[in-house]
Structure 1
Amino acid sequence: MWLKFGVAPDGNLASIDEVVRGKTNLACLYCGGGLTAKKGSVKEHHFAHTEETCKPVSQRIKTKAFPALPLYEHFNIELKGEELEQLKVLWKEYSAQNYAIPKDLVNFRWELKGLLESSGDRSYQFTHLGKIPVGALPLALFNKVQEPLLLSEQASLEGSVEIALSAGLSCLEERRADLLIYRAQLRRILVNSLYFLEIKADGHCFYKIGITTRSSEERIAEVQRDVRAHYSDVVVNLLGLWEYRGNVELYFKHRYKAFNYRIGTLTEYFVFPNVKAVLQDLYEMKPKMLSDVEVDAIASGGHW
């Protein structure tokens, strides 16, 4: 994990996605040192200190301890590669066929992690959490699993700040920086709407998932421009728009990655043999009702 946010001169937090590569006028949340945007083709885009990296950031890089949204970018529930492949085999050979999983095939760590649960007859079944690594959990249920974790993690970080404040601990500013980085990430998924588009181009039909903070008309115009670089006759239709659902985009791509359809360098397009099932999956998501914590996160504006 890397440092993804810096503080602008006006006090607002800026993401690595919002700046160009090179030296910036941003400061580190942990030490106030200047930051340089590293945006190459090998490592994940991130900020590095222009001078010497401060101790809080170097420690977090080593331990991968930067605050992150639960189940947002990574869906393997910290499983090792071999474990994940074994879990996928169990899903394909048993649960996908509605068969109970024999106990002797179950890794005890999967049960400890809450990925599998006993069905009472020396057999096991996948939990909602366990279905996420194999991309089998419907989107509506994914929200039910992820959303409490998002709020719980923020509450934990807030509690850590309160403890440091009341006890006069020297780590107060570090913990406060952790909380602000987390709130900035939470705000970014809340202010984005999820959209699903149908694109018809030169006799082909494919689909696009994405998120935007702008109007759907603006985003559709951009998509038309991008696709016209590869096709001549392009028509784009909006099939759905879900406010405050920026959290779903990456899980959707994980769940439907088998149907990914690359168009040159464009990667967010899909071809589905049965798009009705995909639309049903999307439409089963109820409109999101913001909690007080989420309203506060949006209103904060990512201010330091």
Structure 2
Amino acid sequence: MWLKFGVAPSGELAGIDEVVRGKTQLTCLYCGGFLTAKKGSVKEHHFAHTLETCKFVSQRIKTKAFPSLPLYDNFNVQLPGQELEQLKVLWKEYGAQDYAIPKDLVNFRWQLKGLLESEGDRIYQFTHLGKIPVGALPLALFNRVQEPLLLSELMKLEGSVEIALSAGLSCLEERRADLQIYRSQLRRILVNSLYFLEVKADGNCFYKIGVTTRQIEERITEVQRDVRAHYSDVAVNLLGLWEHRGNVELYFKHRYKAFNYRIGKLTEYFAFPDVKVVLNDLYGMEPKMLSDVELDAIAGC
């Protein structure tokens, strides 16, 4: 995992997706050194120190220990590649058919991770968590799994800061930086609304998923402009808008990746044989009611 946030001169955190490639006026949360935005086509976009990388960030890159949102942009639940493929095969042959899984096919680590649960002495079933790597968990249930994990990680980081403060530990500023990075990520998904658009273009019909903090009319205008670079007759209709649901966008793309419909370099479009199934999935989500903790995160407290 790479460093994805820097501190602007205003004191606010800025993400790698908010800046252009090259040297910036952003500084490292951990050492105060200036950062350069690395946005190439091979490695994941990230910040690097303009001069020498500080020891703390260098260690974090090696250990993949930067704070991140649980189940936000990585859905393999820390499974090695071979085990992930095995799990997918198991889902296809048993889970998708709602068949009981024989014990001799179960990797014990999957049970320890909570991916499978026992239905008897020798048979198993996929849990809600276990369905996430294979994209089989409905959006409503995904929220129920992820949201407690989001807040649990926040409380863990806050507790870590409190311990360092009360004990006078030298790592206090590092732990504060971790908490600031995490709260910034949490705030970003909470302030975003998820939208689902129908796009009709030159007799074709496809759909777009995305998030925005602006008025949806502005985003629709931009989508029309983007699609018109590839089609002449374009109409865009809003099929749904869900406030504070920025956490769902990437899981939606993971769940429905088989229906991805690329338009040039545009990647957030999908073509479905029956969009009613997808709409039922989206509208199955409960309206997001922000807790006091989440309201504090939005306020930047």
Please classify the TM superposition score into its range, dividing by the shorter chain length: over 0.9
Q: Please state whether the residue corresponding to 1:207 is helix, strand or coil.
A: strand
Q: Percent identity?
A: 85
1:37-86 Cα distance to aligned partner (Å, 9 max, x none): 11111111111111111111011000000000000000000111111111
1:121 CA drift (Å) = 4.4
Q: Which residue of 1 aligns with 2:172?
A: 172
CA distance, structure 2, for counterparts of residue 71 and residue 144 of structure 1: 12
Q: Which residue of 1 aligns with 2:275?
A: 275
Q: How many residues align?
A: 301
CA distance, structure 2, for counterparts of residue 157 and residue 21 of structure 1: 31
CA distance, structure 2, for counterparts of residue 133 and residue 19 of structure 1: 31
1:20 CA drift (Å) = 1.2
Question: Structure 2 matches for 1:89-128, cutoff 5 A?
Answer: 89-128=89-128
Q: Which residue of 1 aligns with 2:78?
A: 78
Q: Which residue of 2 aligns with 1:218?
A: 218
Q: Please, which moves more after superposition, 42-51 or 168-177?
A: 42-51
Q: Please state whether the residue corresponding to 1:238 is helix, strand or coil.
A: strand
Q: Please state whether the residue corresponding to 1:219 is helix, strand or coil.
A: helix
CA distance, structure 2, for counterparts of residue 140 and residue 110 of structure 1: 23
Q: Does 1:261 align with 2:261?
A: yes
1:98 CA drift (Å) = 1.5
**Letter matched to residue 67 of structure 1:** P
**Letter matched to residue 287 of structure 2:** P
Question: Structure 2 matches for 1:195-234, cutoff 5 A?
Answer: 195-234=195-234
Q: Which residue of 2 aligns with 1:145?
A: 145
CA distance, structure 1, for counterparts of residue 23 and residue 299 of structure 2: 29
Q: Which residue of 2 aligns with 1:31?
A: 31
1:273-295 Cα distance to aligned partner (Å, 9 max, x none): 11101000000001000011110
Q: Flag structure 1 segments of 5+ consecutive residues without an equivalent.
A: none
CA distance, structure 2, for counterparts of residue 270 and residue 253 of structure 1: 9
CA distance, structure 1, for counterparts of residue 121 and residue 95 of structure 2: 15
**Letter matched to residue 36 of structure 2:** T
Q: Please, which moves more after superposition, 246-255 or 17-26?
A: 17-26
CA distance, structure 1, for counterparts of residue 35 and residue 253 of structure 2: 32
Q: Please state whether the residue corresponding to 2:279 is helix, strand or coil.
A: helix
When the two chains are superposed, the root-mean-square deviation of aligned CA atoms in Å is: 0.8
CA distance, structure 2, for counterparts of residue 129 and residue 170 of structure 1: 37
Q: Flag structure 2 segments of 5+ consecutive residues without an equivalent.
A: none
CA distance, structure 2, for counterparts of residue 144 and residue 238 of structure 1: 26
CA distance, structure 2, for counterparts of residue 114 and residue 81 of structure 1: 18
**Letter matched to residue 130 of structure 1:** G
Q: Please state whether the residue corresponding to 2:69 is helix, strand or coil.
A: coil
1:130-174 Cα distance to aligned partner (Å, 9 max, x none): 000000000000000000000000000000000100010000000
1:214-240 Cα distance to aligned partner (Å, 9 max, x none): 111000000000000110000000000
**Letter matched to residue 72 of structure 1:** Y
1:199-253 Cα distance to aligned partner (Å, 9 max, x none): 0001100000000011110000000000001100000000000000000000000
Q: Which has the higher contact order (CA 8 A, sep 6+)?
A: 1
Q: Please state whether the residue corresponding to 1:195 is helix, strand or coil.
A: strand
With normalisation by structure 1, the TM-score equals 0.98
With normalisation by structure 2, the TM-score equals 0.99
1:16 CA drift (Å) = 1.0
Q: Please, which moves more after superposition, 80-89 or 231-240?
A: 80-89
